[in-house]
Structure 1
Amino acid sequence: MAAMTSWDTVETPRDELVNGANGAHLFLRARGAPRQPGEPVVIFEAGLGVSSATWAAVQRLLDPRIRSIRYDRAGYGRSPPSKNERTASNIAAELLDVLRAAKVQPPYIIAASSFGGIIGREFLAAAGQEAMAGMVFVDTAHEKTAETLRFPHQAIAFLLNGRDYFEAIGFFDDCALTPEEIQQFKDDAKEPTAIPTADGEGINARESAATLGERKQFDAQILGMKPVIVIRGDSGQDFRRMLKTVAGDEQDADTIEYTNDVKEFISERLDKLDRACQMEQLKLSGNSRFLQAQKSTHAVITTEPELVAEAILDVWQRSISGKLF
């Protein structure tokens, strides 16, 4: 049902499906204290193929003064699918539609993970620079990531051979999600609309990156002096774990070739280029900071949620005080 009162002020927790004026239907989960005048609200943006359950630990650990909302994109978790193409610009427009229906007022802090970095910056474009208080990017992709790193998708799919990717990389072995949060993550992944939605986002990923690139947000330093933190994990660990998992498979010619493709990708592109690629996002603001997660693979939000929660608090405080890094 559509929210009739502002999500800015009602007591939390609040979990509800909200209908936007322009047809979007998204499930929101709000936590934290009612907002005081001028305080930003944190909006969590998940990566490709997963629900907002990946952000559960960070939201749980966030300073209780901070109002935050995580949401399931259309087709994930408890949000019904959308008829719109799964481009980042469409996804961002749907989020803005629902936030307005829920009467969640700017300023916003977007905290984005993985492919959510592209969506978060499309939200910046849709809402406008004046609506933003800051941003936190956690091992995110941007408009140049795919062309720079050239992920060996075909090799990865072949080597997995039907295995669950998260199991193959040991995602659940060292994550900080509670058993209940892990179960929610797994239940959301089993929703019949999850895979088609992920496929739609993946098919449109190149178009999403190109559209974002045309906005030239780096060149414009679009966020001015608003605080930005970029946190990098170590995605190479994920792929090394995957190779270890599949090492016992029959070593036919194709397996050997694709294994070598992934190894070359790790050593020649990912290890050498990813850090600089991540740091490019610092150009969005003249007031930015880079952090290297020390214990994490790609999923920093589930392995070091305390680090991410502290970074969000830092941006939240600086957006209010005006202090620079």
Structure 2
Amino acid sequence: MPDQAALPAAAPHFTDIRGKRLAWWTSGKGSPSVVLETGLGLESAAWQDVQAAIEPHFRVFRYDRAGRGASDPARGPRDANAMIEDLAQLLQSARLPTPWLLVGHSFGGLLMRLFAHRFRAQTCGLVLVEAMHEGQFERFGPAFVEPTPDDSSALQSMRALWREGWRDAHTTPENIDFPASFRAVSAIDTLGDLPMAVIVAASFEHSPFFAAEQREALQRAWERMQEGFLALSSRAELIRAPQSEHFVQRDAPQVIVDAIGRVARAV
């Protein structure tokens, strides 16, 4: 696996989408085209190890959503529908060949679920990596450790988001309307026979954000949420990444690379 730190920083392309300049990168060749969608905690550059590993076989696309990385700020509250409309226009402007194999991490997984449903004809496969579940904040928010004077800024911001902040779009730099986004994905009943992989990692087993005696039960609850995504397709499989925490593209990128290959072969 290539060392991400050793990879040269590629210059982005920029495209204006509804008055916002969005940054994007492509590399490689082959079919299907793989679209990489990031979550909330890392920028799209975190996909570089995965991108470098699959570009000999696939055309690969990644981008920064409005309000992230090299892209322009987001304007006003935006839900998942608005975000995937931006992505659809961006893919068309970039002339990324169809079909598209979608890969989404965390919040990006929520977006790719909705994108696959809205653009099913152009989508040939889906890989969900620790995908955000519409019930996760209400289930896990109350379980965060109680505040102490020694809390890190990361813990403070995570607790604030997961407990109540998710209800307010201004909590995130992207001005995400989570309630509207959750309503949108909750309306998806099926993706038919779309080849699909669901990757679940050990997000809670060692997390300092939760009391040690709660972690095992929280991990089981998280795994049940991830397993629920399998009902979206008649051709879905669960892939476990017990050696990884939430950011699988950083901790165990080969798991994602292998999952992309499995889904591509199933197309």
Quote how far apart the aligned CAs of 1:294 are. Answer: 2.7
Quote how far apart the aligned CAs of 1:303 are. Answer: 0.9
Aligned mate of 1:266, from 194, 206, 215: 215
1:27 matched residue in structure 2: 23
Q: How many residues align?
A: 245
Aligned mate of 2:66, from 61, 74, 79: 74
Quote how far apart the aligned CAs of 1:160 are. Answer: 6.8
SS in 2 for 1:235: coil
Letter in 2 for 1:62: I
Higher helix share: 1
In 2: Cα distance, 1:14 partner to 1:32 partner: 15
Task: Give TM-score, length-normalised by structure 1.
Answer: 0.68
Displaced runs of 4 or more, over 6 A: none
Q: Deviations over 1:50-104 (max 9, x none)?
A: 3102212111222512111111111111111122523211111111111111222
Quote how far apart the aligned CAs of 1:159 are. Answer: 7.2
Quote how far apart the aligned CAs of 1:164 are. Answer: 3.9
Query: What fraction of aligned residue pairs are identical, expressed as a percent?
Result: 27
1:18 matched residue in structure 2: 15
In 2: Cα distance, 1:160 partner to 1:96 partner: 44
Quote how far apart the aligned CAs of 1:119 are. Answer: 1.1
Letter in 2 for 1:23: G
2:88 matched residue in structure 1: 96
What is the root-mean-square deviation of aligned Cα atoms in Å? Answer: 2.7
Q: Which protein, 1 or 2, shows the higher relative CO under an 8 Å CA cutoff with sep ≥ 6?
A: 1
Q: Deviations over 1:249-290 (max 9, x none)?
A: xxxxxxxxxxxxx4565344x123111110111112111111
Matches for 1:110-259 after TM superposition, within 5 Å: 110-126=102-118, 128-147=119-138, 149-152=139-142, 155=145, 161-164=151-154, 196-198=172-174, 200-201=175-176, 204-213=177-186, 215=187, 217=188, 219=189, 221-222=190-191, 224-239=192-207, 241-242=208-209
Q: Which runs of no fewer than 5 residues in structure 1 stay unpaired?
A: 1-12, 169-194, 244-261, 320-325
Letter in 2 for 1:236: F
Quote how far apart the aligned CAs of 1:318 are. Answer: 2.0
Letter in 2 for 1:273: A
Letter in 2 for 1:19: D
Flag the 1:143–1:163 CA change in 2: closer, same or farther, 3 A: closer
Letter in 1 for 2:70: R
Aligned mate of 2:239, from 291, 296, 300: 291
Letter in 2 for 1:132: T
Matches for 1:4-15 after TM superposition, within 5 Å: 15=12
Task: Indicate if the aligned counterparts of 1:49 and 1:197 stay in contact, CA closer than 8 A.
Answer: no
Task: Indicate if the aligned counterparts of 2:28 and 2:60 stay in contact, CA closer than 8 A.
Answer: yes
In 1: Cα distance, 2:184 partner to 2:36 partner: 22
In 2: Cα distance, 1:230 partner to 1:156 partner: 32
Task: Indicate if the aligned counterparts of 1:84 and 1:90 stay in contact, CA closer than 8 A.
Answer: no
Q: Which runs of no fewer than 5 residues in structure 2 stay unpaired?
A: 1-9, 159-170
Task: Indicate if the aligned counterparts of 2:20 and 2:72 stay in contact, CA closer than 8 A.
Answer: no
Letter in 2 for 1:110: L
SS in 2 for 1:197: coil
In 2: Cα distance, 1:280 partner to 1:308 partner: 19
- Higher gyration radius (CA): 1
Flag the 1:317–1:14 CA change in 2: closer, same or farther, 3 A: farther
Task: Indicate if the aligned counterparts of 2:205 and 2:215 stay in contact, CA closer than 8 A.
Answer: no
In 1: Cα distance, 2:148 partner to 2:136 partner: 22
